[in-house]
Amino acid sequence: MVAGKYISTLLIVISLAVVVLSFNIEEQDVFDPSSPSFFPALVGVVMLISALMIARRGIQSPSSAQEETKQHVAVEGNDEEEPEKEMYEKENITQKGINIRLILFTALVVLFAILMNYINFMVLSFLFLFGSMLLLSREKMLRSFIVSLIVSVAFYYTFVHVFHIVFP
């Protein structure tokens, strides 16, 4: 699998990086077990070994892994006494839709973090909460609005006055 090869190579590169960086730790002898670079190098080597083993077995991409588990479940499904109940209805959305949603949501969180230094925290939390709720669902906007309002105000006061957390 193409995806598999990329990931295995990535893992190997990471392990090698760890080992090399360990050698570079200032003025330390990697082979002296009492030095700060011994353990990191050791860990790097272990990582390298596991990365190679992973490469051998091959990485599964998400979709193929799901198919495999589905087959797995179909075979074993009758053995388990209490199958996990389906907690959620299946939502109608495409893979692409999911990816867009994920990226936007993550972007919102990052934005939240960046703006923490510039905007009053209570206002910012309200915006973030309301914004992300809207992002995720267009329905019941009023409810989202109210909940965001209550949560941001309530927790702002709790954190500042009860916990004395100083916000930027």
Q: Are 166 and 121 within 8 A, CB to CB?
A: no
Near other proteins by CB under 8 A: residue from 20, 136, 149, 154: 136
Separation between Cα atoms, residue 58 and residue 55, nearest integer Å:
5
- Least separation in angstroms between residue 164's CB and other proteins is 5
Which residue do the tokens 């090698």 mark?
A: 16
Q: Would you count residue 78 as binding other proteins (CB under 8 A)?
A: no
Separation between Cα atoms, residue 137 and residue 130, nearest integer Å:
11
Q: Would you count residue 104 as binding other proteins (CB under 8 A)?
A: yes
Q: Would you count residue 53 as binding other proteins (CB under 8 A)?
A: yes
The binding track of 26-45 with respect to other proteins, each residue x by CB under 8 A or -, is xxx---xxxxxxxxx--xx-
Q: Would you count residue 165 as binding other proteins (CB under 8 A)?
A: yes
Q: Are 48 and 10 within 8 A, CB to CB?
A: no
Q: Would you count residue 84 as binding other proteins (CB under 8 A)?
A: yes
Q: Would you count residue 16 as binding other proteins (CB under 8 A)?
A: no
